[in-house]
Structure 1
């Protein structure tokens, strides 16, 4: 598993959020409620879709699949428009991230993430940082296609 270490200046996301757990995954419901609103969003920077997970501070230290976190479906914007009903903004602060390429079906991503957290991260010179995790779904993202690709960003700092 290869990671590219990147530094972001920050991202401003406009979208919808739901509280969920891995055991009670509401991601499809979240995206189905958000997708129809995308055409009405002004100030979009790209056509990419952004999925963001905001975990409680000690989420990974006391991990349990039924523990809740905040999941966002959104797009990156240059500035927010508070008049769009039902949408909220989230700022992903600047910082260092490990970037991974995931190819495959969403339902098979569990093994991929386990490999990051059980193998790559412990054997790297980095540690997990308490910032949002996110995925960028661009041109090569095809949802339920085994050839679908997305970029996965894990927040890190040096040990």
Structure 2
């Protein structure tokens, strides 16, 4: 897996969030709450969805699978003029990212992220930046399928 290094501009996002840990993973619950309501977001830019994680600064250097982080299910919007009830806004700041294109089952995610953090990152010349990590789930994303495709965005500097 060889990433593309890119800098993104700031993005406005709307969606829902849950606190969770790797041991107490509530990703399915989060997306079950979001998917039936995503059409309520009237000013979305595309059909892409964002699975976004906000980790504390020392999350990876002092990794513990029970440490909580906030995970979001989001879509990008043009503005925050209309926010559906029960949803929140999130402003993703601009910054540099390593973008990995992944094709395969979400069941293999542990191996993919392990490779990125333990092999690619230490050899890359970059360091992990303290900004959100996210995955872009586009038209080729098929939940649970070996044919699913997504982008994995890792913040670097």
TM bin (shorter chain): over 0.9
What whole-Å deviation, never above 9, does each CA across 1:104-127 have from its counterpart, x for those lacking one?
Answer: 111211000000000000001100
Deviates more, 1:28-37 or 1:75-84: 75-84
Query: RMSD in angstroms over aligned alpha carbons?
Result: 0.9
Aligned counterpart, 2:4: 4
Q: How many residues align?
A: 157
Query: Structure 2 stretches of 5 or more lacking a match?
Result: none
Between the aligned partners of 1:107 and 1:69, the Cα distance in structure 2 is 20
Q: Which 4+ residue blocks in structure 1 deviate beyond 2 angstroms?
A: none
Aligned counterpart, 2:114: 114
Between the aligned partners of 2:20 and 2:81, the Cα distance in structure 1 is 26
Residues 42 and 81 of structure 1 are in contact (CA less than 8 Å); yes or no, is this contact kept in structure 2?
A: no
TM-score of the two chains, using structure 1 as the length reference: 0.96
Between the aligned partners of 2:107 and 2:47, the Cα distance in structure 1 is 24
SS at match of 2:28: helix
SS at match of 1:122: helix
Between the aligned partners of 1:68 and 1:82, the Cα distance in structure 2 is 30
Measured after TM superposition, the shift of residue 46 of structure 1 is: 0.7
SS at match of 2:65: coil
Pairing 1:139–2:127 present:
no
1:127–1:84 distance in 2 versus 1, CA, 3 Å: same
Between the aligned partners of 2:56 and 2:81, the Cα distance in structure 1 is 27
What whole-Å deviation, never above 9, does each CA across 1:57-103 have from its counterpart, x for those lacking one?
Answer: 11011001111000000101111245411100111100100000111
1:127–1:38 distance in 2 versus 1, CA, 3 Å: same
Between the aligned partners of 1:132 and 1:46, the Cα distance in structure 2 is 20
Residues 14 and 83 of structure 2 are in contact (CA less than 8 Å); yes or no, is this contact kept in structure 1?
A: no
Pairing 1:50–2:50 present:
yes
